[in-house]
Chain A
Amino acid sequence: MALAKPTVEEIKARAARYPSKQSAIIPALWAVQYEQGYVSKEAMGEIAQILALPPSLIEATASFYSMFLTRAEGRHDVVICVNAPCSLRGADEMTAYLEQQLGVRDGQTTKDGAITWHSTIECLGACGGAPMMQVDHRFEENLTPERIDAIIQQLRTDPTPHGAKPMRRIPTKRAKN
């Protein structure tokens, strides 16, 4: 799937701001993930063409960072932290509850395609509100089973893919309104 024109424009505009166009690789990967929901090998090839850099370089960078998805996932993205500070306040129990409610295992997508969830050992920076989840890149803190129920309910009925809503296009120039 070829990249949309605004995505290509954004990548070019970003590259022009940095002293080295290579610095635009991560912003470009974000722009692609915003548009397509994940970063395919083909899209990395396109980034390489736009920036006139070898495709291997784009892939090397993309594969290093945990937030770039390489395959299509559910409409919504749920990540629950299981690092020590969260575990002290019940992250394991919340994870077990989440898994039970969604009926699929860590890393999988629910049958209705609504939610992909996984646990992470990477601290997300919300230890003061532990246990916590990152829902479509927004933090939900002080989780309880009831809060998890409400979040799941909302996500199942929300048709907007996570790529479109929270991963707001980062404008190179702020839109006039």
Chain B
Amino acid sequence: MGLKPLLTKDFHTENLEQLAVYERTAGYAGFKKALGMQPDELVELVKTSGLRGRGGAGFPTGNKWSFLPKGVYPRYFVCNADESEPGCFKDRHLIEKSPHQVLEGILIASYAIGCNLAFIYIRGEYLPQHEALESAIEEARQAGYLGKNVLGKGYDIDVILHRGAGAYICGEETALLTSLEGYRGEPRLKPPFPAVKGLYGKPTIVNNVETVANLPHIVINGADWFKAMGTPTGAGTRLWCMSGHVNRPGNYEMENGTPIRELIEEHGGGVWKNRKLKAFQPGGASMMVLLPEHLDVGLDFDAIQKAGSLAGAGAMVVMDETTCMVDVARRYVKFFHHESCGKCTPCREGTFWMSNLFERFEAGDAKPGDIDLLLEMGYNIEGRSFCPLGDASTWFPRSVIKYFRDEFLEHISEKGCPFKKTAQEAVA
């Protein structure tokens, strides 16, 4: 347990983004080995390794691959680099430092699923990262890792780098595919799942950047080696993006199951300014808040879920005792309202009204019934919206009402934010 650099182990190597340097760290050895295996063997290997998707949902990657209908071609592979969850900046780090590791993972996945055209959908804001991947693809092409008859093994693969243009919803896989087809990034109904009917109506696998970055290591070292790390249901490591009120914010690659306490106190250097921890939020803007009493929970999909939140995309937002929890929730709800694609009514109107109510608390216009009204809105959005964006918009505010109802009441009785003064002092 603890810090376990697996994907990040060579990140201190200078110029790792260059192909020659990456190759010296055993780069592309995984892809070469994979090309000597049968695609089905690879799917089986990834299945047995227990690798779960690192984009947020934690779905077993090998299982996802095996949902592809037999004999239906062409198939597409799409790497989801539309990292937009507030609190997350791990994929950006992985691409910046080692774009070839990501590309190698994409090549392995593409070969495993029998795809000859792969895409990387990267968010529009990540321009330097776009350039890093662009150079990596070009270098790999020159070296014969992609193109026609790769390494003389008779396999053809091309990769198209596709730049998004500012839309959180495009991180949701069906919205991403709609966007990649040139339309407004609106989600599609599931089923049919993308594995059956995805990009251009063809079988498609969408995997996150961190997920594919694991593949070269699994191919080289095997499933047992990978399973030996982490927890029984959460093999391997994850990059945790620590932000907020800690002394050392940043990305930390931790073995799954390591206590949250170790991440925050040891690696993050604890809460800044010698203050007390008030709350923290794993997973990103969507996920429920947790309290100091949850510090011994392990960094693991199942453990965090058991504690009442979700590991999501690996964010860890730390909040000290001076934090106004109503304000944090207000910003997240405003974010979801801004990013709601407008396709379905519960999300489009619901996030609008929730956001309005939060502005009332902020302005000091809230009434005692407004707390329950917020909860009622949450219950009416969740389970009734078209995609998970609407559901997720309600989780954080509802968890804040559960644990910090007093703060909402204070906003009502004091006609405004009781933390205003200390919050400003906090940054002085």
Contacts and interface: CB of A to CB of B under 8 A. Distances in A.
A61 B85 contact: no
A64 B75 CA distance: 28
Chain B contact residues, majority secondary structure:
mixed
Contact of B335 (A20, A121, A129, A168): A121
Interface in A35-87: 57, 60-61, 63-68, 82-85, 87
B242 A128 contact: yes
B339 A122 contact: yes
Given A29-B165, A122-B339, A24 B86 contact: no
A83 B86 contact: yes
Interface size class of B (residues with CB under 8 A): 35 or more
Contact of B124 (A24, A65, A89): A65
Which secondary structure dominates where chain A touches chain B?
A: loop
B263 to A, nearest CB: 13
Interface in B104-121: 117
A23 B167 contact: no
Contacts of B160: 17-18
B331 interface: yes
A35 B114 CA distance: 38
B97 interface: no
B164 A26 contact: yes
A170 B163 contact: yes
A121 B249 contact: no
Given A30-B163, A125-B89, A166-B127, A93 B424 contact: yes
Contacts of A129: 249
Contacts of B165: 26, 29-30, 65-68
Interface stretch (A98-106, A130-138, A149-157): A130-138
Interface in B80-118: 83-89, 92, 117
Contact of B327 (A87, A90, A167): A87
A138 B285 contact: no
Contacts of A63: 184
Given A82-B331, A83-B335, A88-B243, A125 B250 contact: no
Nearest to B138: A174
Contacts of A127: 86-89, 241, 243-244, 249, 315, 317
Nearest to B281: A84
B173 to A, nearest CB: 16
B334 interface: yes
Contacts of B338: 121-122
Report the 7 A-B pairs with minimum CB-CB distance, sorted nearest first.
Answer: A127-B243, A90-B427, A65-B165, A66-B166, A123-B86, A22-B182, A67-B166
Interface of A: 17-20, 22-27, 29-30, 57, 60-61, 63-68, 82-85, 87-90, 93, 121-130, 134, 137-139, 166-168, 170, 174
